[in-house]
Amino acid sequence: MLPTDIDQHWMMHALGLAGRAEREFDEVPVGAVLVGPDGVMLAEGMNRNIGDHDPTAHAEIVAMRQAGQGLGNHRLLGCTLYVTLEPCAMCAMAMVHARIGRVVFAASDPKTGAAGSVFDLLGDPRHNHRVQVEGGLLAAEASERLTAYFRRKRGKPG
């Protein structure tokens, strides 16, 4: 499926959150936006695991928690999650449990990606719910930001 203007809009918003995560909190620059079936933003998140000392505080989890609390429901039926990095196994399984309808991610993660790169947890037929996956939207922007962050952390030239 080709990305829509709406997909571009929300991914740009997620990229802005990724920038804030790095700039304001020195976190790995990952941002996520959760949009309801009606196209209205329900929640947003950015990586907070370093600052919050919480290994589960990935951008996707932060956004899903916020949305679940706001809706008063752990099910996020028909929602679309936009995230700047391919979800890891923890985030992918949380999406399955929440019954997220669709995830759109920017950069693939060749080390821990669980939406098709290393694992395909979102489409695994053994689960009672499968999440529609679309990857690569604004991937270059997200990848450049992540690469620059890790180079800086390792003290390597840009």
Residues with catalytic annotation? 60
AA letter at 79: C
CB atoms within 10 A of CB 23: 10
